[in-house]
Structure 1
Amino acid sequence: MSAADERAVNGKRELTEGLAAQILDHIRDGGLAVGTHLTAQGLAERFNVSRFPVGQALQLLAAKGVLLHERNRGYFVSSAKDASPETLGLAPRDEASDVYFRIAEDHLHGRLPDPASEAYLKDAYGATKAQLNAVLSRIAQEGWAERRPGYGWSFSPMLTTPESLEQTYRVRLALEPAALLEPGYRLDPEIAARCREAELRLLDGAIETDTADALHERGVRFHEAIIGASGNPFFLEAVRRINRVRRLLSYRSMIDRKRYRRQCEEHLQILNLLERGRNADASEMLRRHLEHTIENLQEIRPILER
């Protein structure tokens, strides 16, 4: 096998395993019950990829026991749904993530041509076709690039300044505390337990060792989990849209990780209040938590403006 062929094979494997890990997180964080039917079309729309790689990822999860495959019926969540990507041996998409962050940095510095052809991006970042497709699908899902009809990709100028990142937090400040006060609010105990486990793991040392990608996802999952428990899908959809577009500067802000211990501790306090049914207190705690984050943005502004 030539070096080029080997890179292509590795790129496809990374795409499949990366999607499998995303689907598994979707199952766990969404609290999907055993027996829930997963469709390739629905997942393709959620992760903004074609049905083929989703099909490959579903096959992989079925082979690892997370899903059950029934002939002519499809894939269903199995009783092994609480397995983690790490325990299943799903390799992180290191090379694809490297390409992603390099494109992100170049976009923040205004170094990308607009529009940029896929051939240019492939050559400029040394990516395989599979890796580039995965990265561009992720970027499109996050909302800072879109395919141009007939020619390449355009990258959005939105959310490339510290001011725009602060604006997203102010919108969250208006939405998230209100979601905790919805009359039908119910936080599933299993979801609460997974959130607590993730926070304790960070406090035990993962704050310093996790990637920026993993740190960002941990925060996103926590906030989307407690907002999703509101029973009001409009709160959750609004927060998800904001989370998709704020990633660029959020990643850069993680260069300074000193504030994460306080954030983890505040997350745990909010969980404790919700589990005790003290939603009004939890809502106020969440408001203060987001206000602290906005204050921290001013302290790390030099990092965001690099």
Structure 2
Amino acid sequence: MKNPDNSIARQIVALIQEQHWEAGTHLPAQMLADRLRVSRQPVGEALALLHEKGVLTRERNRGFFTARVLNEPLHEVVRGLGLEESDVVTSVYFRIADDLLRRELPLAFSEQLIKTRYGLTPAQLNAVLARIAKEGWAERKPGYGWEFSSMLTTPDSLLQSYRLRLALEPAALLEPAFRLAPEVIAQCRAAERHLLAGGIETATADQLHDRGVRYHESLVAASGNTFFIDTIRRVNRVRRLLSYRSMQSRGRYIEHCKQHLHVLDLLERERNDEASEFLRQHLQHTIAALSGIEDILQPPP
């Protein structure tokens, strides 16, 4: 079998845990591709890999199903399955992010610069740049070299992304076609309760960011408005880098989770006007909290 992208397999394992999916839960490839915002091909390869490793079962003409409950801490499950990302790749990824925000890297850069500066092998270099490109904060230039997104190099960028979301997300809840499926409400609620039960302290930066992205994108997707959906996905791709840095302060996530749960309760009772207003207040609360940790987002003098 072609070597699959282990990062997709790791994300599927994390999703199984976050959603508390029981043994026998069906995992449609298209559903996972939509949730992880990737094509079906790498998802199919990752599912086959997890089947080989005993995490999933496979039924002819039906697809893949969870084989067991994954109760162990995520890092233990990933390590036990041999799905760990190279420590070097992970470490350098965050070093590049930090150096970029500190203005210590130029916006336009060559692969050789990154390879030399961080002491990477060709394989490690490809892995780091592939992750950065996938997450949308750098892209290959036509012809030669790479370029970081200029949107991500100012302290105001994260706050500006939240102000755009403040204009968009509450309005999405008032769209005429809005419908949030009961199973989506249940999945979002389980993820928030997991964080309140201790996940805030133990989750990685990736997991915390992705959980928030899935929650808010689920609400916007329920609007049925493709323009809303496309905009929020673009915003979430470019804000990931600054979002990581803001996670150095996690105390605010307890209140965030409680507010997320309240919005779900209101939507479940079809009180969309109240949910929209509360979501607006929630985003304003987040903007205020980010203003309070501005020193974390600022580069050093």
The SS at the match of 2:266 is helix
- Counterpart position of 1:18: 7
1:250 maps to 2:236: no
Cα 1:139/1:175, change in 2 over 3 Å:
same
CA contact (8 A) 2:170 2:276 kept: yes
CA contact (8 A) 1:24 1:81 kept: no
Of 148, 155, 161, the residue aligned with 1:155 is 148
Q: CA deviation at 1:178?
A: 1.0
The number of aligned residues is: 283
- Counterpart position of 1:278: 271
1:223-244 deviation digits (Å, cap 9, x = unpaired) = 1122222222322221111011
- Counterpart position of 1:143: 136
Cα 1:48/1:263, change in 2 over 3 Å:
same
Calculate the TM-score normalised by the size of structure 1: 0.78
Of 183, 187, 202, the residue aligned with 2:195 is 202
Cα 1:282/1:128, change in 2 over 3 Å:
farther
The 10-residue stretch of structure 1 (59-68 or 269-278) with the greater mean CA deviation from structure 2: 59-68
Give the % identical residues.
Answer: 53
Q: CA deviation at 1:174?
A: 0.9
2-structure distance, mates of 1:110, 1:172: 26
2-structure distance, mates of 1:254, 1:35: 30
Q: CA deviation at 1:59?
A: 2.9
Cα 1:69/1:237, change in 2 over 3 Å:
farther
Of 262, 266, 278, the residue aligned with 2:259 is 266
Cα 1:55/1:204, change in 2 over 3 Å:
closer
Q: CA deviation at 1:37?
A: 5.7
- Counterpart position of 2:85: 93
- Counterpart position of 1:57: 46
- Counterpart position of 1:6: none
The residue type paired with residue 216 of structure 1 is H
1-structure distance, mates of 2:237, 2:14: 16
Structure 1: 5+ residue stretches without partners: 1-11
CA contact (8 A) 2:188 2:215 kept: yes
RMSD, aligned α-carbons:
3.5
1:78-136 deviation digits (Å, cap 9, x = unpaired) = 34399779467654536233221111111112222453322332333244444433332
Cα 1:272/1:145, change in 2 over 3 Å:
same
Counterparts of 1:1-306 in structure 2, within 5 Å, are 16-22=5-11, 36=28, 38=30, 46-47=37-38, 56-63=45-52, 64=54, 66=56, 68=58, 77-80=63-66, 86=74, 91-93=83-85, 95=87, 96-306=89-299
The residue type paired with residue 268 of structure 1 is L
